Chains A and B, each alone.
Chain A
Amino acid sequence: MLTQLKGGHVVDPANDRDGVGDVFIEDGHVVEAPGEGRRPDEVIDCTGLIVMAGAIDIHSHIAGGHVNTARLLLPEFHRAHQARPALTPLGQVGWTTEETGLRYAAMGFTTVVEPAMAPQSALHAHMELADTPIIDKATLVVLGNDDLLMRMIRDGESEAAIEDYVAWTVSNSRALGVKCINAGGSAAFKENVRKFDFDDVVPDYGVSSRRIVKTLQGAVNRLGIPHPLHVHCNNLGVPGDSAASIEATIKAAEGLPLHLAHIQFYGYGAEGSRKFSSQGQHLADLVNSTREVTVDIGQVMFGPTVTISSDELRQFAGRGQASPKKSIIMDHEGNGGGVVPMEYKQKSYFNALQWAIGLELFLLIEDPTRVFFTTDHPNGAPFTTYPDIFALLMDRGVRQRWLDALPKSVVKMTTLPEIEREYTLKEIATMTRAAPARLLGTPDRGHLGKGAVGDVAVYRPGEDKAQMFGRAAYVLKDGQLVVKDGAVVRRTFGRTLTLRPEPDKAMVKRLDRYFDESYGLPSRWFEVPDHALGRENPFKVMPCRT
């Protein structure tokens, strides 16, 4: 079937399109305009509308053991449990697998990456993703606090051996990339260490956070995994130390690609009477001048939410701020993690400054191909707040109205009121479509050129940007109309994007032995067999760089 999206304003930076035109889709893919005489089977009139590729979220905690633990901990955040759901953003998300898929689709997002899958709960994460409708999914698998990697580094094993281990982990867990979360910090916390810097060493292993990050960065790069090592730095959220940690990590990129996650949580200085200040300008300068790094923001928005992280040390340290006052800290193999509910209050100096720092970073980092749009869902805010953030980025007047509602003490501590930049539609499309596809190594999406998957988001432009991005006029997934006027009209199931690097046979044998002898676990339990997911073609394998 040939579908024509007719006469819309097509914003497709990857193909240098920014003007009125048509997009044609056939058999789930974008095709060139057919010759004279062929009439489309379906015409969607896009006159006066904005047409973009489906959006891609590179970092959103939507599935897996930790996310599900958060659901378990917080029945009060779920819509059906409360009489007054409108007050709780997560209550509106519902944040079941079902609602996650439907609500992302309604905003025109068609691919979402779960960024923190533990190797031992890969199957669990993929089961949840298989139950998440409409959108395509992908995962990053977490290494960097695991016994074997640290042991291999300590014992001076070869680069090739470490690559084989990383390849096995990515392949078995059906991941699209590798993430490293407070490298060594979680392992150190199990040794009762309560503070861990980039050059601190993990007791017993004698390897530093820096060495772990550099080892994984090199292995990921040499394996040709398109997405650079995705790093969650040490000292998240700690005034002063967070900024020092991220600066040290950025400088350690040393010319090789490196992605730094939710950098807003590291933009904290320790100046001022409250010992909490913005390092936004400094951090943005550092990112601007370090061409090999990419970042995402982790914007904070006001309201109740929950923080879900495999940074067990950080979550332990943050449990005193839990609201409501309860948290779950998990001592698992490798990273472990924690779930701490949180309320970001507009009237709080600290929370309001966090909000401002996120926007400073968005606006002061110049290159929209290197800064990515995230709230670190749900850590900074639920993904349902995205439309408001688009409005804040695109409209200085909206920012001013939000600033007017903040405590005066905050406004004095941020450069946000002076920043004039407003994101253009082209920059939004770059940041949420073209650039993420390139960053993830998924050339089949993020654009509307010939051969791209038929994932399209059509928006009704207007003064109210939040309204525009909150309810897409049309969304097509693989060429099928799934959303109309912000409402889901067809519930389909997408696929999960993975890499399949061929694991070395000797490493497979070694890991069989290792997991059996060390943990008493058969290595086959770490596998994610296709049959488990109960969907036809659950995976789409993306190529590694050659």
Chain B
Amino acid sequence: MAANLVRASRLPVITGLQADLSAIRAAIELARIAGAVVDHRSSQAIYPAIRAIRDCGAFLGAPAEMRRRADRVLLVGREPFAGDPDLAEFLLKSEPDLGVRTRGHGRAVVWLGGEPGATLPGAASVEIVECAEAAIPDVLAMLRAGVAGHRFGPGPLPAETIADLADWLKGAGFGCAVFAATEMDELTAEMLLGLVGDLNGETRFSTLPVFPGGEAYGAALAATWSTGFPLRVSFGRGEPEHDPQIFAAERLVRSGEADLVVDISTLTTTGPALPDWTRGVPLIALGSAEVVAGLPARVAFGVGTAGRDHDGVLFNARFGSFAPVSASGEGSGAPSAAAVLHAVSALLLSAEASAAA
């Protein structure tokens, strides 16, 4: 029935994608076969950072390397670790132990835009530089000018503060700037990436964008190798096409262009509930039995969760790459989302083949 719905659909959107990598790969394969659009639930949250990175380049650090090497850490924004709260402790708890320029110097943290009195797990010393969220772009621009030795006019912070901060950044043995991909617009992210690029003229500095969980970044990576683009990809015209606006799942459903939603949300057993906009069209839902039971789905598949019901692969922010997870042994015996999606793909292909014969 699911295959029939997909086949009858003018333009299906496959979304959610809060799932292990096998399911994401199977979803992209299904989209290729069905001429569908693929989009992750949280794509919007990661695009500003991705756009900044691909428009102007970046220095990017791996978390574990930054943990061992960074003697000066610049946190930017109100909640730089919002996407992955555990990363704060992982990154900041120990002191740098690699490098003659950094080992034994301890680790100093400056938090630009942190709330007064805010603390971080593991950070021995955090100096908060108060700054309204809206003022961060201007402060970063002033800092960049300060680091480059250019003149700059008055702004949200006093010139002396900027000069001190610029000197502090330049004095890093190996510095690292951390920001939440979800918190920054593209221009702000570009300014920060540019600042770090400039700092590498004299010393070493890298950045660590913190992406939200739920496999938003993992799905973007998988889509990049299989389609060339970090999602919001349409196979509607055969070749994969990328457009972060046109192929947004929500826009396609609200506008009536898409007439079927396939939602894959397998990472939790409690939700999150599907957004309201999915209610406008028929829904095929893949999720744990508890979750899909409450959904107004035309077809619902109770599927397993990677790391509990079956083995799998998830993007791991601490590792900065994909890592394997094993079934916990208390599995429900439910099939994996990948298996269901492969079965739907196989039905579509065999129907195509028999139609051609």
Contact of B101 among A73, A78, A80, A192 (CB under 8 A): A192
B322 at interface (Cβ–Cβ under 8 A)? yes
Residues on B with beta carbons closer than 8 Å to the beta carbon of A97: 225-226
Q: Are A333 and B224 touching (Cβ within 8 A)?
A: no
With both beta carbons as reference points, the residue of chain B lying nearest to A316 in the complex is identified as B200
| Chain A 310-353 residues near chain B, CB threshold 8 A | 316, 319, 322, 326-333, 336
Q: Are B227 and A96 touching (Cβ within 8 A)?
A: yes
Q: Are B225 and A75 touching (Cβ within 8 A)?
A: no
CB distance from A523 to the nearest CB of B (A): 11
Contact of B318 among A189, A316, A518, A520 (CB under 8 A): A520
Residues on A with beta carbons closer than 8 Å to the beta carbon of B343: none
Q: Are A124 and B321 touching (Cβ within 8 A)?
A: yes
With both beta carbons as reference points, the residue of chain B lying nearest to A93 in the complex is identified as B228
The complex places the Cα of A94 from the Cα of B58 at a distance, in Å, of 23
A48 at interface (Cβ–Cβ under 8 A)? no
CB distance from A192 to the nearest CB of B (A): 5
B164 at interface (Cβ–Cβ under 8 A)? no
Contact of B61 among A67, A332, A524, A529 (CB under 8 A): A332
Which of B8-16, B64-72, B180-188, B248-256 contacts its partner?
A: B64-72
Binding site secondary structure of chain B: mixed
The complex places the Cα of A528 from the Cα of B311 at a distance, in Å, of 12
Q: Contact size class for B?
A: 35 or more
Q: Are A521 and B319 touching (Cβ within 8 A)?
A: yes
Q: Are A191 and B53 touching (Cβ within 8 A)?
A: no
| Chain A 519-546 residues near chain B, CB threshold 8 A | 519-521, 524-525, 527-529, 531-532, 534
Q: Are B323 and A525 touching (Cβ within 8 A)?
A: yes
Q: Are B320 and A529 touching (Cβ within 8 A)?
A: no
Give the most central of A147, A316, A331, A527: most B CB within 10 Å: A331
Residues on A with beta carbons closer than 8 Å to the beta carbon of B206: 329, 331
Q: Are A518 and B68 touching (Cβ within 8 A)?
A: yes
Q: Are A80 and B53 touching (Cβ within 8 A)?
A: no
Contact of B324 among A327, A332, A527 (CB under 8 A): A527
A506 at interface (Cβ–Cβ under 8 A)? no
A72 at interface (Cβ–Cβ under 8 A)? yes
Contact of B320 among A96, A120, A127, A328 (CB under 8 A): A120
A217 at interface (Cβ–Cβ under 8 A)? no
CB distance from B340 to the nearest CB of A (A): 14
Q: Are B239 and A79 touching (Cβ within 8 A)?
A: yes
CB distance from A467 to the nearest CB of B (A): 25
A81 at interface (Cβ–Cβ under 8 A)? yes
Q: A68-B224, A525-B316 are in contact. Are A80 and B241 (CB under 8 A)?
A: yes
B303 at interface (Cβ–Cβ under 8 A)? no
The complex places the Cα of A97 from the Cα of B228 at a distance, in Å, of 9
With both beta carbons as reference points, the residue of chain A lying nearest to B207 in the complex is identified as A331
Q: Are A331 and B62 touching (Cβ within 8 A)?
A: yes
| Chain B 30-64 residues near chain A, CB threshold 8 A | 50, 53-62, 64
A7 at interface (Cβ–Cβ under 8 A)? no
B152 at interface (Cβ–Cβ under 8 A)? no
The complex places the Cα of A80 from the Cα of B316 at a distance, in Å, of 30
Q: A326-B55, A521-B64, A521-B318 are in contact. Are A75 and B200 (CB under 8 A)?
A: no
Q: List 14 A-B contacts (CB under 8 A).
A: A69-B60, A73-B57, A120-B321, A127-B322, A128-B225, A191-B99, A328-B58, A331-B62, A333-B65, A518-B68, A518-B97, A520-B64, A524-B324, A529-B324
- Chain A positions near chain B (C-beta within 8 angstroms): 63, 65, 67-69, 71-75, 78-81, 94-98, 120-121, 123-124, 127-128, 131, 147, 189-192, 203-204, 316, 319, 322, 326-333, 336, 518-521, 524-525, 527-529, 531-532, 534
